[in-house]
Amino acid sequence: MIAISHPHYYTAMVETAGRLDARILLHEADREWVQRPSARIDFWSGDRLRVSDGLELVHLGGHFAGGTVCLWRDGSDGRGALLSGDIVQVVADRDWVSFMWSYPNSIPLPPQEVERMRAVLETLDFDRVYGAWWDTVVPEDAKAKVLRSADRYVDAVTNGRR
């Protein structure tokens, strides 16, 4: 099974799934972005999809309407890990993360969208975040850092830097 966070990673999914004899899980909110339909693609809907005892896909939105993260309950030595792609972006200072609508164009998300995402993230149990790129990891106390980052983001976008 292959679960993909959002359309930027769709390019080789059909070929990869064919080689691995796997199905592909995509959130239905991003259906319009699929350029190569395949019987291997399963669109799921709703807020969460449990794929095993230890893995759950969580619809977070943000960067794309169907933006999905994966909660790995057994990750981080049983304290939980969030596989975030760049839906929750791990930044250079590993004490913070950020959120963005368009990274290449530096267009931020509206504050109310980050507040909505924060409310979902607050319901998840995780101590570590694995981002989209090698070595983009918040190794500990990640949930507190993510929630604090969301608060800082909303304050900065709403009120400007103080």
CATH number at residue 148: 3.60.15.10
On whether residue 11 sits in a domain, the answer given is no
Taking residue 135's Cβ as centre, other Cβ atoms within 10 Å add up to 8
Separation of alpha carbons 21 and 76, rounded Å: 29
**Which of residues 160 and 21 earns the better pLDDT score?**
21
Tell me the per-residue pLDDT of 105-136, one tens digit each, with 9 for 90 and over.
989 999 999 999 999 999 999 999 999 989 99
On whether residue 18 sits in a domain, the answer given is no
Give the per-residue pLDDT at 78. Answer: 96
Range of the domain at 82: 46-159
The phi, psi pair for 127, rounded to 5°, reads -115, -10
Give the per-residue pLDDT at 103. Answer: 85
Three-state secondary structure call for residue 117: helix
On whether residue 24 sits in a domain, the answer given is no
On whether residue 4 sits in a domain, the answer given is no
On whether residue 61 sits in a domain, the answer given is yes
On whether residue 10 sits in a domain, the answer given is no
| Terminal Cα-to-Cα distance of the chain (whole angstroms) | 46
How long a stretch of residues is the chain? 162
Q: Which amino acid is at 46?
A: G
Mean pLDDT in residue range 14-43:
97
DSSP codes of every residue in 127-151? SEEEESSTT-EE-SSHHHHHHHHHH
On whether residue 66 sits in a domain, the answer given is yes
On whether residue 12 sits in a domain, the answer given is no
Tokens describing residue 137: 């990891």
Tell me the per-residue pLDDT of 70-85, one tens digit each, with 9 for 90 and over.
999 999 999 999 999 9
pTM, to two decimals:
0.94
Q: What's the number of domains the chain is made of?
A: 1
- Residue 38's pLDDT band (boundaries 50, 70, 90)? very high
- Does residue 8 carry a pLDDT above 90? no
